[in-house]
Amino acid sequence: MKNSVSIGLFGLGTVGSGVIQLIQNHQEELFHQVGCDVKVKTVLVRDIEKDRDVQIADIELTTDPDKILQDPEIDIIIEVMGGVEEARQHITDALNAKKHVATANKDLIALYGPELQQIATENSCDLFYEASVAGGVPILRGLSDGLVSDRIQKLMGIVNGTTNYILTKMDEDGFSYEKALKEAQDLGFAEADPTADVEGLDAARKMAILARLAFFTNVELDDVEVNGISQVAVEDLNYGKKLGLTMKLIGLAHFENQQLEVSVQPTFLAKSHPLTAVKNEYNAIYVNGEAVGETMFYGPGAGSLPTATAVMSDVVAIIKNMRLGVNGHSFVGPRFEGVLKTADQRYSQYYFRLHLKDEVGAFSKITSLFNELGISFEQILQTPLSKDELAEIIIVTHTVSLENFQTALMKLRDLPVVDDVISYYRVEGDGK
């Protein structure tokens, strides 16, 4: 074993700078862990001349990936450049050059994780990606080491800080979606183009990665059903409050009878659910295991240094494996094909809001419709609307299949007394 391990870094943005800073500040801690010096030797950047926030005096910057890929001194690649195709090429080349890889790239792993994992295994290399889900929260190791002996049944994640910040502001301060988004952008929690966050795509990528690891299934990104928060009205959050419910953008992964449901959607949580207390830009993953019951992992989902700690936990694991000569053995492959549940196999409670014409017997037409379909109600709120002689009704159902609920919605819309179905959302109880 060498006295020093050299790292090649792809990308010097927010996370890349955090990695350099963390390595510089924690030299002694790292040495104590792995018994040798750890240093970044070369960094691939787009612009060598650009001013940098971090100390890079003894680091070589380059615009040529081969300077890293063909350097025999470099054993480990950290990929934090983002994007998909270029990163995929570099990581493939690195693994084929027998270099171990730690990446924070959720887009890439969600799309090509299994393919890259296979290349890693063929080359006896480690490929780790702890930072790809929930930044500083060590959830991937939590699943694959800590909860390894259990059978995980359900996983619910608040895995996107931007949307959690927006929903917290809407819920606690009564902000509209637009105002909350603007504030998130001003504070740097949301990007100028927020689409990937607010439409749930970012969360969907993380849920695909989590579902693969939690259930040992083949899950493709396309398997994840996605709904974002851009259509969420502050009115629904206020009604939710009256019903003891808080809205979060929840990534759900549920596995039973070897069948799978993975989705991202705005969901009302009961006040007592552990995820309800997760506020602002924080992330948390709630894991329900057959034997362990309820557990939750909470922490920062993004940020330069928090994400860097996750990247460097991968690097420490790689170096420890190097010292023992056991790289390329950590990955445990899938056991199941990811067969998706159909709508009649997916059960949940639902919240829905509708406008009803203010006629005698209108409400009883609703109740008999649901009665016919065998759907019962847990909570009902009725408020008169001053305009248009309409009443606003909010109903929370008991547990019902998605198919049944969709049928109910369709039939509701056909009822002459129903003016409009305004909104509907999944509801999660207290987590038991």
Positions that interact with its own copies (CB under 8 A): 18, 22, 25-26, 29-30, 32-33, 130, 136-138, 141-142, 145-151, 216, 274, 276-277, 282, 289-300, 303, 305-306, 308-310, 312-313, 315-317, 320, 323-324, 326, 329, 332, 335
Residue 66 burial by Cβ neighbours in a 10 Å radius (0-12, 13-18, 19+): exposed
Known binding residues for L-homoserine are: 191
Say what angle helices 362-372 and 402-414 make with each other, to 10 degrees.
Answer: 150
Q: Are strands 347-357 and 418-428 parallel, antiparallel or unpaired?
A: antiparallel
- DSSP β-bridge partners for residue 124: none
CA atoms within 13 Å, Cβ hemisphere of 344 = 0
Question: Given the complex with its own copies, which of 326 and 385 has the nearer CB atom?
Answer: 326
Closest approach of its own copies to the CB of residue 24, in Å: 12
Question: Given the complex with its own copies, which of 4 and 25 has the nearer CB atom?
Answer: 25
Q: Can you read off the two tokens belonging to residue 375?
A: 């759907």
- Are the CB atoms for 155 and 139 separated by under 8 Å? no
Closest CA to 246 of 310, 346, 367, 164: 164
Question: Given the complex with its own copies, which of 147 and 245 has the nearer CB atom?
Answer: 147
Question: 3-class DSSP state for residue 84?
Answer: coil
Task: Spot the catalytic one: 41, 99, 154, 206.
Answer: 206
Closest CA to 408 of 374, 370, 381: 370
Question: Given the complex with its own copies, which of 146 and 196 has the nearer CB atom?
Answer: 146
Question: Given the complex with its own copies, which of 157 and 194 has the nearer CB atom?
Answer: 157
Question: Given the complex with its own copies, which of 146 and 244 has the nearer CB atom?
Answer: 146
Residue linked to tokens 């993975």: 262
Residue 184 burial by Cβ neighbours in a 10 Å radius (0-12, 13-18, 19+): buried
R_g over Cα of the chain: 24
Closest approach of its own copies to the CB of residue 316, in Å: 5
Closest approach of its own copies to the CB of residue 310, in Å: 8
Residue 323 CA: distances (Å) to CA of 2, 81, 99, 221, 320:
9, 28, 15, 35, 5
Closest approach of its own copies to the CB of residue 18, in Å: 8
Q: Can you read off the two tokens belonging to residue 327?
A: 């790289």
Closest approach of its own copies to the CB of residue 406, in Å: 34
Known binding residues for NADPH are: 106
Question: 3-class DSSP state for residue 219?
Answer: coil
Helix (H) or strand (E) holding 181: helix 177-186
The answer to whether 206 is a known catalytic residue is yes
Closest approach of its own copies to the CB of residue 238, in Å: 21
- Are the CB atoms for 336 and 257 separated by under 8 Å? no
Closest CA to 63 of 82, 86, 46: 46
Question: 3-class DSSP state for residue 194?
Answer: coil
The rounded distance, in Å, linking the Cα atoms of 417 and 54 is: 65
Question: Given the complex with its own copies, which of 128 and 352 has the nearer CB atom?
Answer: 128
The rounded distance, in Å, linking the Cα atoms of 327 and 124 is: 6
Closest approach of its own copies to the CB of residue 283, in Å: 10
Question: 3-class DSSP state for residue 59?
Answer: coil
Catalytically annotated residues: 206
